Chains A and B, each alone.
Chain A
C-alpha cells in the first residue's frame, strides 16, 4: 500500500526552538507539498517541491523553510517556532507532469504541532 509517512503524530516544542518535520513517500512521486490545516481556514500551502533540491514558496512561507535532498523525503523546518505556528501540518505528494494520469494528492496523516 502506497503511502506518505510523517515522522511524528504529535509534537510539543518551546517558542524559539528550531523544529524539523519529516515526510517520506514511497511512490516515486516527483511533487511534494507541505500544508498547514487550521479550523475555518482549510488547507494552506506552505512550500512545495517539483524535484530534488527544488523548492517553491506557497501561500504562507513566512517563518518556514524546506529541504529536499532526496526524491522521497521532504522536510519542513520552523527556524524559530512561535505560538502562531501551532497547527496541524500535512505533507502530500503527487505524480509530476511527466508521470501518468492520476492527478490526486496522497496525504500523510499529519503532525499536530503545539508551540508553547
Chain B
C-alpha cells in the first residue's frame, strides 16, 4: 500500500513534443504529490507539487494532472527541450509532511534535438 508505481521506465521525445509520465498510488492517506527532476551527477530537485484539492497545477511548461478517484497523477512537459533530459521521480506523502515520502522508481527522459 505504500508503493508508488511509475511509467514508463524510459521515454524518448522529439524537441518540441509533449512528455508524459504517469504515476499511481494505493494509499488514500497520501495527500501531497511532488515531482523531482534529477540530472546526471546531481541529486534530485523538487520540480512541482500538487495537493489533491486541485486537479491540475501548472508551472511554466510543467503541469501536474491529478485524478483522485483513480489514484493517479501525471507530469506533462510541454514543448520539451533537450535541457529537460533527466530522470523524473514522482513521490507521495502524508501528514506529517516532509518525513515520509514514497518515491516511484523513476523515468529517464531523453529529448532529441
- Chain A residues packing against B (C-beta within 8 Å): 4, 31, 40-43, 48, 50, 90, 92, 94-97, 103-110
Q: Is the CB of A104 within 8 A of B104?
A: no
A95 to B93, CA, bound (A): 14
Q: Is the CB of B43 within 8 A of A4?
A: yes
Given A94-B98, A103-B93, A104-B34, also A42-B103 (CB < 8 A): yes
Q: Is the CB of A90 within 8 A of B44?
A: yes
Interface magnitude class on chain B: 20 to 34
Q: Is the CB of B41 within 8 A of A94?
A: no
**Interface of B (DSSP majority class):** loop
**Interface of A (DSSP majority class):** loop
Across the A-B interface, give the 4 residue pairs with the lowest CB-CB distance, nearest first. Answer: A107-B43, A94-B98, A103-B97, A104-B46
Hey, which chain A residues are within 8 Å of B67, CB to CB?
A: none
Q: Is the CB of B42 within 8 A of A110?
A: yes
Q: Is the CB of B99 within 8 A of A105?
A: no
A-B CB pair tally, cutoff 8 Å: 58
Q: A103-B34, A107-B36, A107-B44 are in contact. List 14 more A-B contacts (CB 8 A).
A: A31-B98, A31-B99, A40-B105, A42-B6, A42-B106, A48-B99, A96-B96, A96-B98, A96-B99, A103-B97, A104-B34, A104-B98, A107-B45, A110-B42
When C-beta atoms are compared, the residue in chain B nearest to A42 turns out to be: B105
Give, as a whole number of angstroms, the nearest-CB distance from A5 to chain B: 11
Q: Restricting to B16-46, which residues have a CB under 8 Å from any CB of A?
A: 32, 34, 36, 41-46
Q: B98 contacts which of A41, A97, A109 (Cβ < 8 Å)?
A: A97
Give, as a whole number of angstroms, the nearest-CB distance from B18 to chain A: 24
Task: Give the most central of A107, A108, A109: most B CB within 10 Å.
Answer: A107
